[in-house]
Every structure is written in structure tokens, then in C-alpha cells.
């Protein structure tokens, strides 16, 4: 009797699910009938492709557009701060408004990142990811506080530096998130 007809060889019938109950599909057919039984630790099992054509694409898309908004706000803060620095202008309400919009984006990213990080089955450096995620929202308020206390043109240098730090930290956050996608 051949192996593929032997009833003692375990066969998988029906869908395979991961620990969270999500449906998995096999990338390639097994080379032999003995390999037909599914193992969830096997890398050939994955989530089926979504509408974007990529498995587990939704969390990456959320962090991607949110990061783009944060990048735009941080670059705007950096450009306005550099302009004020070159013109010897002091901190005013408009610059604080740009910093507040950046802070709002960072707080939204904190909430979305915590929810996505807690609910995903993706393999990523959790401690480092959450450390960056929690640290980034503290940068603009502390820089604004220091800029308010510093009544010279270098207050704009503090805001300029903080905007660049936010860009680097958010880029690193995205790198950590997508490293094992």
C-alpha cells in the first residue's frame, strides 16, 4: 500500500488556525505525504493575503499613514523653528500650535501602537518598540517647556533639535515594527 493511501498517516482536513483563531494557508504543497500534517511553528503557514495583496497588512498601513502625518508635522516644526532661529524671533503661539499638533499625532500613535502591539501575532522586539512608543510623546512638551524658559534665539534651536529627534525616533519605531513583517 502506498503512503498517500495509508489511513495511519495523519492528514489534515479543514482549515488551519493559529493561536488567535485566524485562518492560515500553506505557501507550498508538502514534498511528501508525511509532511501533510500541519505544524504551526512551520514558517510555510501564513495568513492569507488581504485586499492589499499582503498578509497582516492592516497594522503596517495604519502605522505608515500615521507616521507620515507625524513626519510632516515634525518637519513643519523644524522648518518654522529654523526660520525663527535665522530671524532672531522668539517663541510665539503659532509655533506652539505646530508643536501641539505634533504632540496630538504622537499621542494618537501611542494609542494605536499599544493596541496594534498588544493584538498582533507579529514577531517584533516588544520591549524596544514600547520603549520608543512611550518615550516619543515626551519630547515635544519638554522641548516647548525648555524653549519657554529660554528667552534667547536658542530656544528655536531647542525646538529644531526636538523636531529632528522626533523624526528619528518615529523612523526607528517603524523600523522595529516592520523588521519581522
Claim to verify: residue 66 and residue 117 sit in the same structural domain:
yes
Same domain, 101 and 29: no
Q: Between 58-86 and 154-178, two packed helices, what is the crossing angle to 10 degrees?
A: 160
CB 153 within 8 A of CB 85: yes
**77 and 134: one domain?**
yes
pLDDT for residue 121? 78
- Is 15 inside any structural domain? yes
Instruction: State the average pLDDT over residues 134-162.
Output: 93
Alpha carbons 77 and 45: distance in angstroms, whole number: 45
pLDDT at 109 over 60: yes
pLDDT greater than 90 at residue 107? yes
Statement to judge: residues 24 and 88 lie in one domain: no
pLDDT score recorded for residue 90? 87
Residue with cell 524596544: 128
Q: What is the per-residue pLDDT across 31-65, written as a single tens digit (0 to 9) for each?
A: 555 555 554 444 444 554 444 444 444 455 556 78
**pLDDT band (50, 70, 90) for residue 16:** low
Give residue 172's domain range. Answer: 58-178
Q: Could you tell me the pTM of the whole model?
A: 0.65
Number of domains in the chain: 2
For residue 53, is it within any domain? Answer: no
C-alpha cell of residue 47: 495568513
Amino acid at each position: 500500500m502506498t503512503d498517500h493511501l495509508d489511513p495511519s498517516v495523519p492528514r489534515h482536513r479543514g482549515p488551519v488556525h493559529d493561536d488567535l483563531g485566524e485562518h492560515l494557508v500553506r505557501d507550498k504543497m508538502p514534498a511528501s505525504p508525511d509532511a501533510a500534517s500541519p505544524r504551526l511553528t512551520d514558517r510555510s503557514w501564513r495568513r492569507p493575503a488581504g485586499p492589499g495583496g499582503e498578509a497582516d497588512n492592516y497594522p503596517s498601513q495604519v502605522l505608515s499613514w500615521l507616521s507620515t502625518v507625524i513626519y510632516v508635522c515634525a518637519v513643519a516644526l523644524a522648518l518654522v523653528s529654523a526660520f525663527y532661529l535665522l530671524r532672531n524671533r522668539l517663541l510665539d503661539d503659532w509655533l506652539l500650535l505646530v508643536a501641539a499638533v505634533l504632540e496630538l499625532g504622537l499621542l494618537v500613535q501611542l494609542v494605536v501602537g499599544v493596541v496594534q502591539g498588544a493584538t498582533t501575532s507579529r514577531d517584533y522586539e516588544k520591549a524596544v518598540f514600547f520603549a520608543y512608543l512611550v518615550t516619543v510623546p515626551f519630547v515635544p512638551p519638554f522641548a516647548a517647556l525648555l524653549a519657554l524658559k529660554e528667552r534667547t534665539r536658542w530656544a528655536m534651536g531647542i525646538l529644531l533639535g526636538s523636531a529632528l529627534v522626533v523624526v528619528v525616533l518615529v523612523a526607528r519605531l517603524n523600523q522595529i515594527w516592520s523588521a519581522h513583517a
